[in-house]
Protein backbone atom coordinates (compact mmCIF):
# COMPACT_ATOMS: atom_id res chain seq x y z
CA UNK A 1 0.00 0.00 0.00
CA UNK A 2 1.18 3.49 -0.77
CA UNK A 3 1.56 6.11 1.91
CA UNK A 4 -1.54 8.10 2.82
CA UNK A 5 -2.08 11.20 0.72
CA UNK A 6 -4.21 13.51 2.85
CA UNK A 7 -3.73 16.38 0.43
CA UNK A 8 -5.23 14.36 -2.35
CA UNK A 9 -8.15 13.27 -0.19
CA UNK A 10 -8.79 16.80 0.93
CA UNK A 11 -8.68 17.94 -2.68
CA UNK A 12 -11.55 15.64 -3.54
CA UNK A 13 -13.54 16.42 -0.40
CA UNK A 14 -13.39 20.03 -1.50
CA UNK A 15 -14.41 19.23 -5.05
CA UNK A 16 -18.02 19.92 -4.17
CA UNK A 17 -17.17 23.17 -2.50
CA UNK A 18 -15.15 24.16 -5.55
CA UNK A 19 -18.08 23.38 -7.84
CA UNK A 20 -20.32 25.54 -5.67
CA UNK A 21 -17.75 28.32 -5.75
CA UNK A 22 -17.43 28.04 -9.52
CA UNK A 23 -21.17 28.48 -9.82
CA UNK A 24 -20.97 31.67 -7.79
CA UNK A 25 -17.73 33.04 -9.20
CA UNK A 26 -16.54 34.91 -12.24
CA UNK A 27 -18.24 38.05 -13.31
CA UNK A 28 -16.81 37.55 -16.79
CA UNK A 29 -19.06 34.51 -17.24
CA UNK A 30 -22.17 36.59 -16.56
CA UNK A 31 -22.75 37.63 -20.14
CA UNK A 32 -22.27 34.07 -21.31
CA UNK A 33 -24.82 32.32 -19.10
CA UNK A 34 -27.03 35.27 -18.11
CA UNK A 35 -26.31 35.02 -14.40
CA UNK A 36 -25.17 38.43 -13.15
CA UNK A 37 -23.57 38.95 -9.76
CA UNK A 38 -26.77 40.09 -8.07
CA UNK A 39 -28.66 37.07 -9.30
CA UNK A 40 -25.90 34.71 -8.18
CA UNK A 41 -25.97 36.19 -4.68
CA UNK A 42 -29.76 35.92 -4.54
CA UNK A 43 -29.62 32.29 -5.61
CA UNK A 44 -26.86 31.58 -3.10
CA UNK A 45 -28.98 33.10 -0.34
CA UNK A 46 -31.87 30.86 -1.38
CA UNK A 47 -29.71 27.75 -1.16
CA UNK A 48 -28.55 28.70 2.34
CA UNK A 49 -32.14 29.37 3.38
CA UNK A 50 -33.29 26.00 2.03
CA UNK A 51 -30.46 24.20 3.82
CA UNK A 52 -31.36 25.70 7.20
CA UNK A 53 -35.07 25.08 6.63
CA UNK A 54 -34.34 21.37 6.20
CA UNK A 55 -31.58 21.14 8.81
CA UNK A 56 -33.30 23.06 11.61
CA UNK A 57 -36.54 21.14 11.18
CA UNK A 58 -34.70 17.83 11.18
CA UNK A 59 -32.92 18.82 14.39
CA UNK A 60 -36.16 20.03 15.98
CA UNK A 61 -38.45 17.13 15.08
CA UNK A 62 -36.45 14.04 14.11
CA UNK A 63 -32.90 14.08 15.49
CA UNK A 64 -31.30 11.72 16.52
CA UNK A 65 -33.38 9.48 14.29
CA UNK A 66 -32.29 9.07 10.69
CA UNK A 67 -34.72 11.24 8.77
CA UNK A 68 -37.54 13.75 9.14
CA UNK A 69 -40.97 13.06 7.71
CA UNK A 70 -41.78 16.66 6.82
CA UNK A 71 -45.58 16.44 6.49
CA UNK A 72 -46.23 14.81 9.85
CA UNK A 73 -43.15 16.21 11.65
CA UNK A 74 -42.37 12.59 12.48
CA UNK A 75 -39.25 10.59 11.85
CA UNK A 76 -38.08 7.42 10.21
CA UNK A 77 -35.02 5.30 10.92
CA UNK A 78 -34.29 4.86 7.27
CA UNK A 79 -30.84 3.27 7.46
CA UNK A 80 -32.41 -0.15 8.03
CA UNK A 81 -35.13 0.52 5.42
CA UNK A 82 -33.05 1.81 2.50
CA UNK A 83 -33.04 -0.70 -0.34
CA UNK A 84 -35.33 -2.95 1.73
CA UNK A 85 -38.44 -2.69 -0.43
CA UNK A 86 -40.27 -5.44 1.45
CA UNK A 87 -39.27 -3.99 4.85
CA UNK A 88 -37.96 -7.36 6.05
CA UNK A 89 -35.90 -7.93 9.22
CA UNK A 90 -36.61 -4.47 10.58
CA UNK A 91 -34.95 -4.08 13.98
CA UNK A 92 -37.22 -3.58 17.02
CA UNK A 93 -34.82 -1.56 19.09
CA UNK A 94 -33.03 0.70 16.61
CA UNK A 95 -33.31 4.41 17.32
CA UNK A 96 -31.42 5.70 14.34
CA UNK A 97 -27.86 6.79 13.61
CA UNK A 98 -28.49 10.52 13.29
CA UNK A 99 -28.01 9.90 9.59
CA UNK A 100 -29.22 13.32 8.43
CA UNK A 101 -26.86 15.06 10.87
CA UNK A 102 -23.91 13.01 9.61
CA UNK A 103 -24.83 13.89 6.04
CA UNK A 104 -25.18 17.59 6.89
CA UNK A 105 -21.76 18.03 8.51
CA UNK A 106 -19.92 18.79 5.28
CA UNK A 107 -22.59 21.30 4.23
CA UNK A 108 -22.19 23.08 7.58
CA UNK A 109 -18.47 23.46 6.86
CA UNK A 110 -19.07 24.65 3.29
CA UNK A 111 -21.54 27.22 4.65
CA UNK A 112 -18.97 28.29 7.25
CA UNK A 113 -21.03 27.31 10.31
CA UNK A 114 -18.24 25.84 12.40
CA UNK A 115 -20.06 26.33 15.72
CA UNK A 116 -22.86 24.05 14.62
CA UNK A 117 -20.38 21.64 13.06
CA UNK A 118 -18.51 21.35 16.38
CA UNK A 119 -21.79 20.78 18.21
CA UNK A 120 -22.65 17.93 15.83
CA UNK A 121 -19.21 16.36 16.16
CA UNK A 122 -19.42 16.45 19.96
CA UNK A 123 -22.82 14.84 19.96
CA UNK A 124 -21.77 12.10 17.56
CA UNK A 125 -18.55 11.27 19.37
CA UNK A 126 -20.37 10.93 22.67
CA UNK A 127 -23.61 9.31 21.56
CA UNK A 128 -23.34 7.51 18.24
CA UNK A 129 -22.82 3.75 18.34
CA UNK A 130 -22.89 1.13 15.62
CA UNK A 131 -23.16 -1.76 18.03
CA UNK A 132 -26.81 -2.19 17.12
CA UNK A 133 -28.79 -5.22 16.04
CA UNK A 134 -29.80 -3.71 12.69
CA UNK A 135 -29.59 -5.28 9.24
CA UNK A 136 -28.48 -2.55 6.86
CA UNK A 137 -27.75 -2.30 3.17
CA UNK A 138 -23.98 -2.23 2.78
CA UNK A 139 -24.05 0.09 -0.23
CA UNK A 140 -26.39 2.66 1.36
CA UNK A 141 -24.57 2.53 4.68
CA UNK A 142 -21.28 3.04 2.85
CA UNK A 143 -22.24 5.98 0.66
CA UNK A 144 -24.22 7.82 3.32
CA UNK A 145 -22.86 7.01 6.75
CA UNK A 146 -19.25 6.01 6.12
CA UNK A 147 -18.92 8.58 3.31
CA UNK A 148 -20.51 11.28 5.49
CA UNK A 149 -18.16 10.58 8.40
CA UNK A 150 -15.04 10.48 6.24
CA UNK A 151 -15.72 13.64 4.26
CA UNK A 152 -16.63 15.52 7.46
CA UNK A 153 -13.43 14.21 9.06
CA UNK A 154 -11.29 15.49 6.20
CA UNK A 155 -12.96 18.91 6.33
CA UNK A 156 -12.64 19.02 10.13
CA UNK A 157 -8.94 18.22 9.86
CA UNK A 158 -8.48 21.02 7.40
CA UNK A 159 -10.21 23.53 9.56
CA UNK A 160 -8.67 22.42 12.87
CA UNK A 161 -5.20 22.79 11.36
CA UNK A 162 -5.99 26.49 10.90
CA UNK A 163 -7.63 26.82 14.30
CA UNK A 164 -5.34 25.95 17.21
CA UNK A 165 -8.18 26.12 19.77
CA UNK A 166 -10.27 23.60 17.83
CA UNK A 167 -11.74 20.66 19.72
CA UNK A 168 -11.43 18.22 16.87
CA UNK A 169 -9.46 15.09 17.73
CA UNK A 170 -10.26 12.59 14.98
CA UNK A 171 -13.53 11.54 16.62
CA UNK A 172 -15.24 11.15 13.25
CA UNK A 173 -12.41 9.01 11.93
CA UNK A 174 -12.71 6.71 14.95
CA UNK A 175 -16.42 6.34 14.25
CA UNK A 176 -15.70 5.67 10.58
CA UNK A 177 -13.17 2.99 11.48
CA UNK A 178 -15.59 1.36 13.88
CA UNK A 179 -18.24 1.30 11.15
CA UNK A 180 -15.85 0.11 8.45
CA UNK A 181 -14.72 -2.84 10.57
CA UNK A 182 -18.36 -3.96 10.70
CA UNK A 183 -18.45 -4.06 6.89
CA UNK A 184 -15.63 -6.57 6.57
CA UNK A 185 -17.60 -9.80 7.30
CA UNK A 186 -19.76 -9.05 4.23
CA UNK A 187 -16.69 -9.62 2.02
CA UNK A 188 -15.97 -13.10 3.38
CA UNK A 189 -17.31 -14.95 0.33
CA UNK A 190 -15.47 -17.31 -2.04
CA UNK A 191 -15.50 -14.58 -4.70
CA UNK A 192 -14.72 -11.60 -2.47
CA UNK A 193 -17.96 -10.03 -3.73
CA UNK A 194 -19.79 -8.64 -0.69
CA UNK A 195 -23.24 -9.56 0.53
CA UNK A 196 -25.75 -6.77 -0.02
CA UNK A 197 -26.85 -6.83 3.61
CA UNK A 198 -24.99 -6.86 6.89
CA UNK A 199 -26.10 -6.83 10.50
CA UNK A 200 -24.02 -4.14 12.20
CA UNK A 201 -23.75 -6.13 15.42
CA UNK A 202 -23.72 -9.75 14.25
CA UNK A 203 -22.30 -9.71 10.72
CA UNK A 204 -23.94 -11.59 7.85
CA UNK A 205 -27.28 -13.06 8.94
CA UNK A 206 -28.27 -16.70 8.54
CA UNK A 207 -29.88 -17.45 5.15
CA UNK A 208 -29.01 -13.97 3.90
CA UNK A 209 -29.74 -13.39 0.22
CA UNK A 210 -26.74 -13.96 -2.04
CA UNK A 211 -28.16 -11.74 -4.75
CA UNK A 212 -26.76 -8.25 -5.11
CA UNK A 213 -26.37 -5.50 -7.69
CA UNK A 214 -23.38 -4.31 -9.65
CA UNK A 215 -23.53 -1.00 -7.77
CA UNK A 216 -23.55 -2.93 -4.50
CA UNK A 217 -20.18 -4.52 -5.33
CA UNK A 218 -18.62 -1.72 -7.34
CA UNK A 219 -19.34 1.44 -5.32
CA UNK A 220 -17.24 0.92 -2.20
CA UNK A 221 -13.71 1.83 -3.21
CA UNK A 222 -13.88 5.60 -2.57
CA UNK A 223 -14.97 5.39 1.06
CA UNK A 224 -13.16 2.18 1.99
CA UNK A 225 -10.02 3.24 0.12
CA UNK A 226 -10.05 6.62 1.87
CA UNK A 227 -10.59 4.87 5.22
CA UNK A 228 -7.49 2.74 4.65
CA UNK A 229 -5.37 5.71 3.60
CA UNK A 230 -6.49 7.72 6.64
CA UNK A 231 -6.10 4.96 9.24
CA UNK A 232 -3.15 3.04 7.76
CA UNK A 233 -5.19 -0.18 7.97
CA UNK A 234 -5.09 -1.74 4.48
CA UNK A 235 -8.01 -4.16 4.97
CA UNK A 236 -10.79 -1.81 3.79
CA UNK A 237 -9.19 -0.80 0.53
CA UNK A 238 -8.06 -4.38 -0.13
CA UNK A 239 -11.59 -5.78 0.34
CA UNK A 240 -13.21 -3.15 -1.89
CA UNK A 241 -10.54 -3.47 -4.58
CA UNK A 242 -10.74 -7.26 -4.63
CA UNK A 243 -14.52 -7.02 -5.13
CA UNK A 244 -14.13 -4.43 -7.88
CA UNK A 245 -11.54 -6.49 -9.74
CA UNK A 246 -13.71 -9.59 -9.49
CA UNK A 247 -16.69 -7.64 -10.82
CA UNK A 248 -14.65 -6.33 -13.74
CA UNK A 249 -13.41 -9.85 -14.52
CA UNK A 250 -17.07 -10.86 -14.96
CA UNK A 251 -17.61 -8.38 -17.84
CA UNK A 252 -18.88 -9.76 -21.13
CA UNK A 253 -16.77 -9.96 -24.27
CA UNK A 254 -18.31 -6.57 -25.18
CA UNK A 255 -16.89 -5.03 -21.95
CA UNK A 256 -20.39 -4.67 -20.46
CA UNK A 257 -21.44 -5.63 -16.93
CA UNK A 258 -24.85 -7.05 -15.94
CA UNK A 259 -27.09 -5.53 -13.30
CA UNK A 260 -27.55 -8.28 -10.67
CA UNK A 261 -25.33 -11.18 -9.64
CA UNK A 262 -24.78 -13.93 -7.09
CA UNK A 263 -21.98 -13.26 -4.58
CA UNK A 264 -21.25 -16.94 -3.90
CA UNK A 265 -20.99 -18.19 -7.48
CA UNK A 266 -19.89 -14.93 -9.12
CA UNK A 267 -22.43 -15.48 -11.92
CA UNK A 268 -24.69 -12.86 -13.44
CA UNK A 269 -28.37 -13.15 -12.60
CA UNK A 270 -29.60 -10.30 -14.81
CA UNK A 271 -27.88 -9.81 -18.16
CA UNK A 272 -29.96 -6.82 -19.19
CA UNK A 273 -28.11 -3.73 -18.11
CA UNK A 274 -27.66 -0.01 -18.70
CA UNK A 275 -26.36 3.05 -16.87
CA UNK A 276 -29.33 3.43 -14.49
CA UNK A 277 -30.53 1.65 -11.34
CA UNK A 278 -28.34 -1.20 -10.14
CA UNK A 279 -25.31 -0.15 -12.16
CA UNK A 280 -24.98 3.65 -12.21
CA UNK A 281 -22.47 4.24 -9.44
CA UNK A 282 -20.16 1.46 -10.68
CA UNK A 283 -19.18 3.83 -13.53
CA UNK A 284 -19.17 6.88 -11.28
CA UNK A 285 -16.81 5.26 -8.77
CA UNK A 286 -14.32 4.10 -11.41
CA UNK A 287 -13.68 7.63 -12.66
CA UNK A 288 -13.75 9.11 -9.16
CA UNK A 289 -11.38 6.41 -7.85
CA UNK A 290 -8.99 7.37 -10.62
CA UNK A 291 -9.22 11.03 -9.61
CA UNK A 292 -8.87 10.27 -5.88
CA UNK A 293 -6.16 7.60 -5.92
CA UNK A 294 -4.49 8.34 -9.25
CA UNK A 295 -4.07 4.69 -10.21
CA UNK A 296 -4.16 3.92 -13.94
CA UNK A 297 -5.96 0.66 -13.21
CA UNK A 298 -9.15 2.63 -12.45
CA UNK A 299 -8.76 4.76 -15.55
CA UNK A 300 -8.27 1.69 -17.76
CA UNK A 301 -11.38 0.02 -16.36
CA UNK A 302 -13.39 3.20 -16.68
CA UNK A 303 -12.24 3.95 -20.19
CA UNK A 304 -13.09 0.47 -21.52
CA UNK A 305 -16.43 0.46 -19.72
CA UNK A 306 -17.26 3.96 -20.98
CA UNK A 307 -16.51 3.14 -24.61
CA UNK A 308 -18.73 0.03 -24.37
CA UNK A 309 -21.58 2.09 -22.90
CA UNK A 310 -21.34 4.62 -25.72
CA UNK A 311 -21.30 1.85 -28.30
CA UNK A 312 -24.07 -0.44 -27.03
CA UNK A 313 -26.40 1.57 -24.75
CA UNK A 314 -26.43 4.94 -26.49
CA UNK A 315 -29.02 5.80 -29.10
CA UNK A 316 -28.66 9.45 -30.16
CA UNK A 317 -29.03 11.49 -26.96
CA UNK A 318 -30.66 8.57 -25.08
CA UNK A 319 -29.36 5.53 -23.27
CA UNK A 320 -31.39 2.31 -23.28
CA UNK A 321 -30.69 -1.09 -21.76
CA UNK A 322 -29.11 -3.97 -23.65
CA UNK A 323 -28.15 -7.61 -23.18
CA UNK A 324 -24.48 -7.58 -22.19
CA UNK A 325 -23.73 -10.73 -24.22
CA UNK A 326 -25.12 -9.57 -27.56
CA UNK A 327 -25.52 -5.81 -27.24
CA UNK A 328 -29.15 -6.18 -28.40
CA UNK A 329 -31.50 -3.55 -26.93
CA UNK A 330 -33.78 -4.90 -24.19
CA UNK A 331 -35.64 -2.03 -22.47
CA UNK A 332 -36.20 1.33 -24.15
CA UNK A 333 -36.69 3.31 -20.99
CA UNK A 334 -35.17 6.39 -19.45
CA UNK A 335 -34.80 6.28 -15.66
CA UNK A 336 -33.94 8.90 -13.08
CA UNK A 337 -30.70 7.33 -11.86
CA UNK A 338 -29.17 7.76 -15.32
CA UNK A 339 -29.05 11.49 -14.63
CA UNK A 340 -25.50 11.34 -13.22
CA UNK A 341 -24.05 10.45 -16.63
CA UNK A 342 -23.57 14.01 -17.98
CA UNK A 343 -21.63 14.73 -14.78
CA UNK A 344 -18.85 12.29 -15.67
CA UNK A 345 -18.18 13.98 -19.03
CA UNK A 346 -16.17 16.95 -17.67
CA UNK A 347 -14.12 14.49 -15.59
CA UNK A 348 -13.14 12.68 -18.75
CA UNK A 349 -12.21 15.75 -20.75
CA UNK A 350 -10.28 17.16 -17.79
CA UNK A 351 -8.38 13.94 -17.16
CA UNK A 352 -4.96 15.54 -17.40
CA UNK A 353 -5.82 18.61 -15.38
CA UNK A 354 -7.20 16.31 -12.65
CA UNK A 355 -4.09 14.15 -12.43
CA UNK A 356 -2.00 17.24 -11.94
CA UNK A 357 -4.10 19.02 -9.38
CA UNK A 358 -4.64 15.99 -7.12
CA UNK A 359 -1.04 14.79 -7.15
CA UNK A 360 0.62 18.15 -6.61
C1 LIG B 1 -34.42 2.98 21.72
O2 LIG B 1 -35.32 3.80 22.43
C3 LIG B 1 -36.17 3.09 23.30
C4 LIG B 1 -37.17 4.07 23.87
O5 LIG B 1 -36.52 5.20 24.36
C6 LIG B 1 -35.32 2.40 24.38
O7 LIG B 1 -36.14 1.64 25.24
C8 LIG B 1 -34.32 1.48 23.70
O9 LIG B 1 -33.43 0.91 24.67
C10 LIG B 1 -33.50 2.23 22.66
N11 LIG B 1 -32.68 1.30 21.91
C12 LIG B 1 -31.35 1.32 21.94
C13 LIG B 1 -30.65 0.28 21.08
O14 LIG B 1 -30.71 2.11 22.59
C1 LIG C 1 -25.35 27.82 12.56
O2 LIG C 1 -26.47 26.95 12.61
C3 LIG C 1 -27.30 27.14 13.75
C4 LIG C 1 -28.41 26.09 13.65
O5 LIG C 1 -29.14 26.27 12.47
C6 LIG C 1 -27.86 28.55 13.77
O7 LIG C 1 -28.61 28.76 14.95
C8 LIG C 1 -26.70 29.54 13.71
O9 LIG C 1 -27.22 30.87 13.60
C10 LIG C 1 -25.82 29.25 12.51
N11 LIG C 1 -24.66 30.14 12.55
C12 LIG C 1 -24.26 30.83 11.49
C13 LIG C 1 -23.01 31.64 11.66
O14 LIG C 1 -24.86 30.81 10.43
C1 LIG D 1 -25.43 12.77 24.30
O2 LIG D 1 -26.81 12.46 24.50
C3 LIG D 1 -27.32 12.83 25.79
C4 LIG D 1 -28.71 12.27 25.91
O5 LIG D 1 -29.54 12.77 24.89
C6 LIG D 1 -27.23 14.32 25.94
O7 LIG D 1 -27.69 14.73 27.21
C8 LIG D 1 -25.78 14.77 25.76
O9 LIG D 1 -25.69 16.17 25.80
C10 LIG D 1 -25.24 14.27 24.42
N11 LIG D 1 -23.82 14.62 24.32
C12 LIG D 1 -23.37 15.66 23.62
C13 LIG D 1 -21.91 15.89 23.63
O14 LIG D 1 -24.10 16.38 22.98
C1 LIG E 1 -32.44 -21.05 7.20
O2 LIG E 1 -32.87 -21.94 6.20
C3 LIG E 1 -33.04 -23.28 6.69
C4 LIG E 1 -33.38 -24.18 5.50
O5 LIG E 1 -34.37 -23.57 4.68
C6 LIG E 1 -34.16 -23.29 7.74
O7 LIG E 1 -34.35 -24.57 8.26
C8 LIG E 1 -33.77 -22.32 8.87
O9 LIG E 1 -34.84 -22.23 9.79
C10 LIG E 1 -33.46 -20.95 8.32
N11 LIG E 1 -32.94 -20.11 9.39
C12 LIG E 1 -33.44 -18.90 9.66
C13 LIG E 1 -32.81 -18.14 10.80
O14 LIG E 1 -34.34 -18.39 9.02
Q: pLDDT tens, 303-340?
A: 999 999 999 999 998 999 999 999 999 999 888 999 99
Residue (of 264, 251, 281) closest to 187 by Cα position:
264
Inside any domain, residue 60: yes
Q: What is the pLDDT of residues 260-303, one digit of tens each?
A: 999 999 999 999 999 999 999 999 999 999 999 999 999 999 99
CATH assignment at residue 142: 1.50.10.10
Q: Is 230 in the pocket of ligand 1 (CB under 6 A)?
A: no
For residues 119 and 323, give the distance between their C-alpha atoms in angstroms, rounded to a whole number: 51
pLDDT above 80 for 166: no
Among 17-21, 25-29, 224-228, the range scoring the smallest mean pLDDT is: 17-21
Distance of CA 293 from the midpoint of ligand 4 (Å): 42
Residues 223-247 have pLDDT tens digits of 999 999 999 999 999 999 999 999 9
In a domain, 146, yes or no: yes
Q: For residue 218, is it within any domain? A: no
**CA pair distance 257, 244, nearest whole angstrom:** 12
Q: Whose CA is nearest to atom 12 of ligand 2?
A: 113
Which of 59, 117, 118, 123 gets mutated to test ligand 3 (max ligand atoms within 8 A of its CB)?
A: 123
Assigned domain for 240 exists? no
Q: Is 123 in the pocket of ligand 3 (CB under 6 A)?
A: yes
The Cα–Cα gap between 26 and 195 comes to 47
Q: Are 294 and 8 within 8 A, CB to CB?
A: yes
Give the structural domain span for 175.
1-27+37-183
Q: pLDDT value at position 90?
A: 84
Task: Give me ligand 4 centre to Cα 122, in Å.
Answer: 42
Does residue 73 sit within a domain? yes
Domains in the chain: how many in total?
1
CB 252 within 8 A of CB 24: no
Ligand nearest to the CA of 48: 2
Closest CA to 148 of 104, 183, 109, 82: 104
Banded model confidence at residue 17, pLDDT cuts 50, 70, 90: very low
Give residue 174's pLDDT band: very low, low, confident or very high (50, 70, 90).
very high
Ligand nearest to the CA of 112: 2
Choice from 88, 199, 205, 206 to test ligand 4 binding pocket (greatest atom count within 8 A of CB)? 206
Domain contains 350: no
Q: Cα dist. 248→25, 96, 245, 296, 333 in Å?
A: 40, 35, 5, 15, 25
Q: How confident is the model at residue 344 (pLDDT cuts 50, 70, 90)?
A: confident
Contacts with 41 (C-beta within 8 Å, 6 or more apart), sequence order: 24
Contact predicate 87/81, CB 8 Å: yes
CA of 207 to the centre of ligand 4 (A): 6
Amino acid sequence: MRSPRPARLAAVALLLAALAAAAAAPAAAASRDGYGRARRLRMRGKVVEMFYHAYDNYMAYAFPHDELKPLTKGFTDSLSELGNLNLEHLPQDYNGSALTLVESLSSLVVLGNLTEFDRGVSWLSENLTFDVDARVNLFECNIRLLGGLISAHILAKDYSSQNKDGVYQNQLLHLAENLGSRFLPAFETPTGLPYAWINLKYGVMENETTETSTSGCGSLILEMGALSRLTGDPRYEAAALRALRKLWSMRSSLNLVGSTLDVLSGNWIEYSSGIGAGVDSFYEYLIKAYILFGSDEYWDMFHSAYLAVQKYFRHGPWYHEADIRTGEATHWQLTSLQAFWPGVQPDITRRCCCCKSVTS
